[in-house]
Amino acid sequence: MSNERKQQIIKAANQSFATFGYKATTMDHVAKAANVGKGTIYNFFKNKEQLFQEIISNLLLEMKTQAESVIDDQKPLKENVHLALYELLQYRRSHQLTIQMVQEAKEMGTAAVQEALANVEGLITAYLREKIEQAIERGDIRPCHPEMTAFMMFKLYTAFIIDWEERHQPLEKEEIMHLFDEYVFKGLSPS
């Protein structure tokens, strides 16, 4: 069983999912694009959904790596939170696969895709929770419920970036940072 062949399948599927979406991607097409027999795919993956899930796992790993690349644990939490959220949400908005997923979930409600998006959201909030916990240990912020705070940060950030923009002029990075300063980090400052 060749690892090279497996990677060819993953690459072909990734491209197909990104171009056509999950639902409209056929295993026949993936096989042809990967230059393998269709049955070969099932040597490596149980089914279509598992193939997709492996690709999403890789995506999550990549996103996490990307976030880590802009984060500096020597910097204050507020700055890192903003950098991470900005980076992760920009990633989501600029990669064809995630763009397709958001659209497909909205227009077709494909279950596998909705689950994948939930995993993306889960990664982001888990990442934030981790940074919040570190900041609590260092005494940089007051003790709080890390998971709730991470959840809240994520929801607020996406509300600013996506929902606000539906009806208003888009907010600048600095404006969002300022709002986070005033409301979130002021509320988190040690007493």
Partner DNA sequence: AAGATGACCAAATGAACGATTTAGTCATTT
Partner DNA sequence: AAATGACTAAATCGTTCATTTGGTCATCTT
Task: List residues near DNA by CB under 7 A.
Answer: 1-2, 5, 25-28, 35-40, 42-43, 47-49
Binds 11: which of DNA, a second copy, none (CB < 5-8 Å by kind): none
Binds 38: which of DNA, a second copy, none (CB < 5-8 Å by kind): DNA
Distance in Å, CB of 139 to a second copy, minimum: 18
Binds 164: which of a second copy, DNA, none (CB < 5-8 Å by kind): a second copy
DSSP string covering 37-74, please? -HHHHHHH-SSHHHHHHHHHHHHHHHHHHHHHHH--TT
Distance in Å, CB of 42 to DNA, minimum: 4
Can you tell me which residue has the tokens 């923009």? 165
Provide CB contacts within 8 A for 43, sequence distance 6+.
1
| Chain-centre distance for alpha carbon 94 | 11
Distance in Å, CB of 62 to DNA, minimum: 24
Instruction: Give 2 or 90: the residue with its C-beta nearer to DNA.
Output: 2
Binds 182: which of a second copy, DNA, none (CB < 5-8 Å by kind): a second copy
Calpha distance 13→19 (Å, rounded): 10
Binds 162: which of a second copy, DNA, none (CB < 5-8 Å by kind): none
Question: Hey, which bits of 84-181 come out as E strands?
Answer: none
For 4, 50, 116, 161, the CA distances from 54, given in Å and listed in that order, are: 16, 6, 11, 29
Provide CB contacts within 8 A for 32, sequence distance 6+.
none
Instruction: Give 44 or 127: the residue with its C-beta nearer to a second copy.
Output: 127
Distance in Å, CB of 113 to DNA, minimum: 13
Question: Can you give the length of the chain in residues?
Answer: 191
Q: Which residues bind a second copy (CB under 8 A)?
A: 144, 148, 151-152, 155-156, 159-160, 163-164, 179, 182-184, 186-187
